[in-house]
Amino acid sequence: MKIYMDVCCLCRPFDARRHPRTHLEMEAIVAILDRCRSGWDLVSSDVISYEILQIRDQRRLINIRKILALAKETVVIDDRLEGRAAEFADAGIDAMDALHIASAEQAGALFLTTDDAVIKTIKTTGINISVRVCNPVEWYLEVKDS
């Protein structure tokens, strides 16, 4: 099982737990990362490496880098990936999100995000994406006993 988490997911375990949804997402992501330590494959990318450089909280950045150390694969940006991301962007997906989705697709990995807007845009545009895109809570509840 290959799993690609966008930076929103990678940051979620370090967010304040003020809202029930945030807490549920944090718990699901931590459980998924635990499974990545024992069989599932976390996938990283050049896009993630670039995006986390924008994080100013050094403790958060260090913790996210520790998570990324679990990655068994890193997707490199190339012309093919950029072309695919451009197709997603043309369909209305934010450019950075498009690069993440194209990276997950190139790796053949499930794409997890806590960003409802990304999930909604994908569902409403009907764009053809070869990997599944969903919220980590929804997905983990489906597979936790497998």
Domains in the chain (CATH in brackets) are 2-145 (3.40.50.1010)
Q: Is the pLDDT of residue 140 over 80?
A: yes
pLDDT of residue 24: 95
| Tokens found for residue 134 | 């969903």
Mean per-residue pLDDT over the chain, rounded: 95
Distance CA 137, CA 141 (A): 6
What percent of the chain is modeled with pLDDT above 70? 99
pLDDT of residue 145: 77
pLDDT bracket for residue 87 (50, 70, 90): very high
| Triad 74, 16, 117: Cα angle to 5° | 60
pLDDT of residue 15: 85
What percent of the chain is modeled with pLDDT above 90? 90
pLDDT bracket for residue 101 (50, 70, 90): very high
Q: How many CB atoms lie within 10 A of CB 139?
A: 18
What's the rounded mean pLDDT across residues 53-77? 96
The secondary structure element, H or E, covering residue 35 is: helix 20-36
| Tokens found for residue 29 | 């992501």
pLDDT bracket for residue 18 (50, 70, 90): confident
Distance CA 66, CA 83 (A): 30
Strand order in the sheet with 133-134: 73-75, 41-45, 2-5, 110-112, 133-134
